[in-house]
A and B are shown apart, each in its own frame.
Chain A
């Protein structure tokens, strides 16, 4: 064994090139669904890495929530542009993409944190509810990808990340349509990645594990949440901020050879039987 004597440089020394691969300095990003905890965490992560942001909502009437997120983003980086919109209305989404492009002279990053959970027995879902669940969880993502890509195709570059869920890969009772919509987002990601691969746009996904979010049945405190916690490999829920690393990797120049991929942030949940 050949051993090398340490020379001067100590471990504590900061590494000079440390963050270049993952830096988003000079990049502009649009986060759709920024009023949600996951959207908020995504926005803060992107801002910390140096991106300038447009924060767009999923639902109208979310001015207050977006302003709160904007404060966090300002503290982490630069002041964002706020855009309260209905992510299920084509004209809104189209105008949002144009706004982002106009504001920053282009759009490099699109993060879709669109999510409206729907829990309940299958037999209780009527056709109106079907349309709504699919619209909230799939059509919104589809439209945001289309409108974001319209700008990105023009400039010949871009990175899109769709945030979906581990429910995309496994079934769970009382969430049939929600699971179906989440799976649809995953495969939408793959197909769009192939379609735009040679046009400069990478499309990837993040699958979030059971989130530490007040609205989640995982936080219900009843039998389901208690049993679930025991089932999770590390016995805890995922904090929205924990998606930040995977998001930053996927949108950064460092992931230039990664497209059509999804990264699960789930504490090994999908790895288990």
Chain B
């Protein structure tokens, strides 16, 4: 029965960046579908809020404050999960972040900013994969979901670190998929488009008018996709990118919202 194959009952999912936004939305939706959650992020207070939301669904949630740019902490996250639940069924490598402030001209980007950005957005996902793989191989089963971005597939002006890191995530996904297919471990990648998290983002992006569907995504819309890729319903999908962007990447050779005129 296909709807049953989408359930996550009895599964254990680690989600990084679970303190807010898309990470929290995925944690709650996966819990609604039956998974116990290991929520990781830097900020304890935010994690506690996620844990409260997860526990309202009736699932268990442990929180593990983690700096994903420190591989020892990511290893400890995997260890804590195995200690608590005896297994790791699902890893969602969600933690990451853009350049923070205003985009910088190339000569202004310092070595330190570059390294910090790559650590946050790419090395973190590598550390996550490396930390869970021994356990998943032992189980002969596992699902890894990396989170990239449209900037991992297309370029943007003054967008260096983020585009390079997310492009790296795409390739990490493919190499993971091929390396561990034989161990029944599927690694896929969600490519989110524009998901505004505050008024400033909405303002900057004009409410999402540039998106074919005419709006930005809601955090809650990412949950079901994460569930699908974590579930048995996607067992033969591996090394694949699933774009959830309201049609943005399907276009891109003409501005959205206008169409070439009919010249006949």
Contact = CB atoms under 8 A, between A and B. Distances in A.
B247 A22 contact: no
A17 B32 contact: yes
B217 A15 contact: no
A51 B51 CA distance: 35
A258 interface: yes
A261 B60 contact: no
A249 B3 contact: no
Interface string B143-179: 0000000000000000000000000000001100110
A12 interface: yes
B3 A244 contact: no
Contacts of A124: none
Contacts of B227: 21
A176 to B, nearest CB: 25
Interface stretch (B16-24, B117-125, B199-207, B228-236): B228-236
Nearest to A46: B2
A13 B239 contact: no
B100 interface: no
Contacts of A249: 224-225, 228, 233
Contacts of A272: 174, 178, 239
Contacts of B259: 195
Interface string A247-273: 011001011111111011111101110
Instruction: Identify the interface centre among A198, A254, A257: most chain B CB within 10 Å of its CB.
Output: A257
Given A23-B3, A194-B251, A264 B240 contact: yes
A14 interface: yes
A197 B7 contact: no
Interface residues of B, number: 70
A28 B181 CA distance: 36
A270 B80 contact: no
A1 interface: yes
Interface string B110-146: 0000000000000000000000000000000000000
A114 interface: no
Contacts of A193: 212, 247, 250
Given A18-B32, A245-B6, A248-B2, A255 B213 contact: no
A2 B44 contact: yes
Interface in B93-122: none
A257 B245 CA distance: 6
Contact of B246 (A2, A190, A239, A259): A259
Contact of B3 (A22, A197, A239): A22
Given A12-B10, A48-B2, A260-B212, 5 more contacts: A3-B62, A11-B10, A245-B231, A255-B244, A257-B213
